[in-house]
Structures are given as C-alpha cells and as structure tokens.
Structure 1
Amino acid sequence: MSVADMGLPVALVQLCATEDAELNRRQAEVWLERAMQPAPGRVKPRLVMLPEVWNAPYAADRFEAYAEPIPQPGANLVESPSPSLALVARIARRHGVAVIAGSIPEQGSHGRIYNTATLINPQGVLLAKHRKLHLFDVDVPGGICFRESDSLTAGHALTVLSGSGDPLGTGVEEPPALGLLICYDIRFPELALLMQQRHGCSLLAVPAAFNTTTGPRHWHLVMRARAVDTQCFVMACSSARPAGDGYPSYGHSLVVDPWGTVIAEAGEGEQLLDAELDLSQVGLARRAIPTSLQRRGDVYRLSEMKLTS
C-alpha cells in the first residue's frame, strides 16, 4: 500500500538535552535512526520531528554558548557550518525522509542570537527556517520565571512551506502546506489563523518546551484550541523532562487532529511518538463546520504580515 492510499506517517522524537553538545547530537542521531526502524505493523515515517532547543540546555544564559550559524533556505545542510543541522541533514538524506529539525540557538549577524526552527527535505536541503516570533518572558507566581529576551532576538516573519510540488516528499495525494511555529508562538491565535486563512495550511508544526508550571494548565488546551481554530493537524513535539536538575520540561508531545482530538500522546520521558495523519479529515472538518466561509470580513479581519518560505 502506498502512502497516497493511507495517512501520512509521522514520528515525533521527545528527547532531553544535556550540557554536552556532542552528546546531544549523538542522542538525536540514535533517536532519529530508531524512528526509521518502526515497530512491527507500523510503516516508516515520511516526516520526523525534533523538539525545541534539542542541542543545548534550555537556559537563557546558555543559548549564546551553543549557538550555531544557519544558512538561508536552499542550502545543502550536509556541508553546513551548523554541526547539529549537518547531522540531521545526513540522516534525512540517508533515509530519504523529511525532518522538522526542532529548533536550535542560531548565531545571527551583529551578535544576535535567535531561537530558530528548520525544515529539511529528504535530500538534506534546507527548505525553510523560522525564528521564534514571541519570546518566552513570563513570571508565574509560585511557578516559573524565564526571560528569553535576556539573550535572544525575536524573528519578524511568518513561516509557511507550500505543499505545491510536495517539497517534503510525503507521497500523499494532496501534500499539506505546513506552518512552522515555536512553542510560545502557539499562544497567539492570529499567527495560526493567518497560516490557515491566507496560506492554506493544513498542518501546523510546533517544536516546544512547555514546563511543569504552564504545561499542566495549558499544553493540551492550547494545542487543541489551535487545531479547532484552524481545522488543521497540530504536531507539537516537546523536549523530555530531565531526571535531575535543569529546565523542567512538561513532555507529553502531542498530535491533534482538525476536530481537536488528541490522536497520539507521549509521556514525560524520552520517547518516540508515532502517528498517522489522515489528511482527508481536514476537508471533512472544514465542510462540516465551515468557519472559514462564515467569518465576518465586514466586521473584523486579520492583517497580513511578512512571510518567509
């Protein structure tokens, strides 16, 4: 049975970063290779995903030390100056699989550091990169205090990859347009709605690292809400919760369908999460509850923003 006759098989890699950058890359390689050897009865994924900041500790004062240069879309990442993305690109090319390579700290120009997610095609070529638009600056009484803006610069563009020509090599009959966000970005519904309303997205990918303060309150709620808002699939890949000290990631990587139903969920620790996206559900949901056709443009509308691809 071909991929076109079934759903789109995907795999989310929920792993935990350490202080050792080389160890983080080795662990990512092990998990990505494991993803390409599915359990009996499962098919190999056509799209694999890593979490937010998977190559470094998630700590505002450490991002600069782990930052790597990331070239512009179109670059062959196998020869990239980023050792983390070069590793992922080699695996993508070895197995002929597309990878949403989570995010890593990016060394930008003029000393700027970004939290940047990337999309890599099955030939190891960079298709798109997204610099996190909304920096995680929060202070929850009795919970977490974190300020990404102490070290990071925010991005300035919405990032969408068109499905035209099937750049991800999914093999499905109607390849999805994919919107790329990073963690805190998902809390701003306008961004996801623009991706769906103006750019036809049917899949939202969210590398993330919610924590044990915000996760129990909002992780499932926000991911399911954005799926219902946009009638898209939402793939939310979290980092795993550390056994000892460190950023207390919530875990619980999710795949949510366009009806808001969680179709796959991980636990707290390191884990590979498999799912199959029945992309026909996007059209079914939008025909059954046609919110896109019922919006009141005479009363309210979304403004466009700069787009990258």
Structure 2
Amino acid sequence: MRVAVCQLNSRDDRKANLAAAEAAVERAADAGADLVLLPEYVDYLGPGASMPAPEPADGEVGQFFAAAAQRRSVWLIAGSFHEAGPDPQRTWNTTLVFDRSGTLAGSYRKIHLYDVEIPGRVSYRESATVAPGDQPVVVDVEGLQVGLSICYDLRFPELYRQLATDGGAQLLVVPAAFMMHTGRDHWEVLLRARAIENQCFVAAAGQTGDHEPGRTCYGRSMVVDPWGTVLAQVPDGPGVAVADIDLARLERIRAELPSLANRRL
C-alpha cells in the first residue's frame, strides 16, 4: 500500500484551506497513493475569535473530504478538525477516516491535550477550548491496521504501545501542528522512536510555517519504517511525499528482533 503525507499551511480562511487540502489529495492520488494523510486542524488554524462554528462529523468539512476520497478513490485520513463537542465552550479535536467510496470508516478524538506554559516563550492551554477523547482507535484499511493519534499524543508512548499490542496496528499515523521550538529537537526523534519501539510504520503529516502571531509550525512530514529509517520526507513549505508500506519487511523485523514478543510488562 502506498501512503502519502501532505504538508500544509492552513490559516484563518477555511475556503482556502480546504482548496489547498484538496489540491494536496489530488497530488497524492496522482502519485499512486492508496492512503492519504492530512495535518491536524486542516480546515482552520488561526485566531480562536474567528474560528468557524464547530460541526458534527457529517458537516461541511466531513462532507468535503468524503467527496474528495470518493472522487479519487483513495482512503483519506482528514487530519483533524474542530468537531462540535460536549458543551458550548469546548470542541473535540477529531480525525475522520474515509474509505475509497467516501464512507466514514472511523474517527478518533485526541486524547492528550497540549497544556504548556514556558515563561517568555510559549503559553498554550488546549484544554480550555478542547475536550479530551478517551478511546484509542485502530482502523482496518484493506487489511492494513492503522492506529490513529494526533500531534501531542506523540509524547505518550503508552498510547502507541496499546495501539500496536491490543489493537494490532501496523501503521501509526500522526496528523500534527507541531510547534517550531519543540519540533526542531523532538519531532523526528519521537516519530522514529515510536516506529522502533512498536515495530510499526509511522506516517506523520504536519502543518508548516506561520499561522497566526506567535504560532509557527515545524512541518517536516515524513514516513518512517519499523526499523526507524525515514523513507520519505517533505522539506520546508507545503508539499507531498509518498512511501510504500511493505508488510513483509515489518514481519521480518518483528521476527528477527522480537522485542514486542519479549516484553514483560
């Protein structure tokens, strides 16, 4: 199966963001992708005051990406969007997965929320406007078991171990809007670690560049194999990269270095 990671610079114009996402899906499909991954907050990444009203999964955003998946006959993991949440003050940060017919095949609500205070550098409290999910999710993509996660989840290895062991995941996906100041040092290291320790492929699609005053995202979307080797990467700026998921290689790595089978805890 060929996987594409799409890197975008979503801002405060939903119509323009969706058009850019659609163009990236087209590029990925033209490159032969079977599964296309978009970044976190693909529909809007700007000031909260002008954010479009949150929607259910079958709202404007969901319908848009369902149609894109059907039109190009690809599996589409639509990054994440602001799903109408449990109360008026908080949304969910939700990934939607569409099959080749545009049917919703799965969804995941981000579990770990980014609440960080670094004096003089960054102040961000995602939990003020976003409610946490509570269910790990693995989706069957034509026999490929795909474990879902979003951005800050990447720092919590217990989620990925559960996806790999209890859920049988073979590919872990990470749509993200990873901050520049942490991304430079941690993004690739964490992605490769999640691949190595769980002996899974990892596909990560990030936002890139400036999005609003004080928020710059790192980008460097990539696909990593179960040995920790980076198979494909998008350089700075919007773009698309593709890589093939070779399950025979995954099984060979797990057989020759059986760390999952040897775990004691």
Shorter chain as denominator, the TM-score bin is over 0.9
Distance 1:29 1:128 in 2: 20
What is residue 57 of structure 1 aligned with on the other side?
A: 45
Structure 2 letter corresponding to 1:130: Y
Q: Does 1:48 align with 2:36?
A: yes
Structure 1 gaps, min length 5: 1-7, 39-43, 71-79, 170-174, 301-309
Matched, 1:193 2:161: yes
For residues 56-95 of structure 1, give each alpha carbon's deviation from its aligned partner in whole angstroms, at most 9, with x where no partner exists.
Answer: 1155x3586442211xxxxxxxxx3x21221111111112
- Per the alignment, do residues 200 and 84 of structure 1 end up closer, same or farther by CA in structure 2, a change over 3 Å counting? same
Q: Residue 45 of structure 2 contacts residue 211 of structure 2 at CA under 8 Å; is this kept in 1?
A: no
Local SS of the residue matching 2:218: coil
Q: Does 1:90 align with 2:67?
A: yes
- Residue in structure 1 matched with residue 16 of structure 2 by the alignment: 23
Query: Paired residue for 1:177, among 145, 169, 174?
Result: 145
- SS of equivalent residue, structure 2 residue 180: coil
Change beyond 3 A, Cα 1:141–1:264: farther
1:288 counterpart = 2:256? yes
- Rg comparison, structure with higher value: 1
Q: Which amino acid aligns with 2:33?
A: P
State the percentage of identical aligned residues: 38
| Number of the residue aligned with 1:68 | 55
| Greater Cα offset, 135-144 or 187-196 | 135-144
Aligned equivalent of 1:12: 5
| TM score, norm. by length of structure 1 | 0.81
**Amino acid in the other structure paired with 1:283:** E
Whole-Å Cα distance in 1 between the matches of residues 13 and 211 of structure 2? 16
After superposition, the Cα gap between the structure-2 partners of 1:105 and 1:147, relative to the gap in structure 1 and judged at 3 Å, is same
Distance 1:92 1:222 in 2: 29
Deviation track 1:230-282 (CA, whole Å, cap 9, x = no partner) reads 00000011012138846200000011100011111111211111111222121
Q: Is the 2:10–2:211 Cα contact (8 Å) retained in structure 1?
A: no
Query: Aligned partners of 1:67, 1:119: CA distance in 2, in Å?
Result: 18
**Structure 2 residue identity aligned to 1:24:** N
- What is the aligned length? 264
> Residues 149-175 of structure 1, C-alpha deviation per residue, up to 9 Å, x if partnerless?
1111111111111x3xxxx34xxxxx2
Residues 104-127 of structure 1 deviation map (CA, whole Å, 9 limit, x = unaligned): 011124324111011111111111
Q: Write the distance in 1 (CA, Å) between the matches of 2:116 and 2:36.
A: 30
**Aligned-partner Cα distance in 2 for 1:185–1:54:** 17
Aligned to 1:107: 84
Alignment RMSD (CA, Å):
1.8
Query: Is residue 179 of structure 2 the alignment partner of residue 211 of structure 1?
Result: yes
Distance 1:104 1:34, change over 3 A: same
Identify, as 1 or 2, the structure richer in strand: 2
The CA deviation string for residues 164-196 of structure 1, in whole angstroms up to 9 with x for no partner, is xxxx34xxxxx2211100011111111100111
So what's the TM-score if we normalise by structure 2?
0.94
- Superposed CA deviations along residues 26-52 of structure 1, whole A, max 9, x for unmatched, are 2212221222222xxxxx110011000
TM-aligned CA deviation for residue 10 of structure 1: 1.4
Match of 2:114 in 1: 136
Distance in 1 between the 2:16 and 2:22 partners?
Answer: 10
In structure 2, the partner of 1:250 is 218
Amino acid paired to 2:23: V
Q: Report matched runs for 1:141-152 at 5 Å.
A: 141-152=119-130
Distance 1:206 1:127 in 2: 17
Q: Distance in 1 between matches of 2:237 and 2:49?
A: 23
The answer to whether the Cα contact below 8 Å between 1:57 and 1:246 also exists between their aligned partners in 2 is: no
**C-alpha contact 2:11 2:211 (8 A) present in aligned 1:** no
After superposition, where does 1:117-132 map in structure 2 within 5 Å? 117-132=95-110
